[in-house]
Each structure stands twice: as structure tokens, then as C-alpha cells.
Amino acid sequence: MRYQKKELLNYINVVSFAVVEANLYLDTHPNDEAAIEYFNNYQRARNQALREYANAFGPLNLDTAVINREFIWADQSWPWQLEG
């Protein structure tokens, strides 16, 4: 495991913010190569981190929710719940 739960959640927040910033910039500069490269890089990092988080601590969103035989979303602790 690369990160503990809290660090991984913080990392997801940080890269998500970076992706949204690039997204807003691209709204008005749709062909900016440097911004596109930045967006692609941090979107990839975000998706990867969301998958890692889902595998270790349960999904944060529908895209990374994996249901095998039972839907356990409601039984997992919430991301903002402090353990112990």
C-alpha cells in the first residue's frame, strides 16, 4: 500500500482539484497543448488513485464501485469517518 487512508484521500482531493482547474482553463482554451497534457496527466493520476482507494477502503464514487456478490457500500465506513 502506497498510502494510508487519510493520505490517499488527501492525494485524491489534490489531484481532483488540479484536474478541475485544467478543465476550467480548457473551457476557454480548448487547443492549449500544455493544458491538455496537464489535464491528461492528473486525470490519469486521479483515476488510478480512485481505483486504489476503492480496492483498499471501498469506493468513493460509482465509477470505482465493484460489486461481486453483495453490495457492501452502505456497510463500509464513510470517507469522513474517523477510525477508532
Partner 1 sequence: METYQRNSRNRQSVLLDELPLAMAYVPMQRWGNLYSPEEGFQRATIFRDLDFPFHGKGGCRR
Select from 13, 23, 55, 77 the one that contacts partner 1 (CB under 8 A).
13
Distance CA 62, CA 28 (A): 29
Helix (H/G/I), strand (E/B), else coil: 65: coil
Select from 25, 51, 58, 79 the one that contacts partner 1 (CB under 8 A).
25
- 33 binds partner 1, rule: CB under 8 A: yes
User: Where does this chain touch partner 1 (CB under 8 A) — which range of 18-26, 52-60, 62-70, 73-81?
Assistant: 18-26
Task: Scan for cell 482531493, then name that residue.
Answer: 13
- 52 binds partner 1, rule: CB under 8 A: no
Distance CA 61, CA 54 (A): 9
User: Where does this chain touch partner 1 (CB under 8 A) — which range of 20-28, 50-58, 61-69, 75-83?
Assistant: 20-28
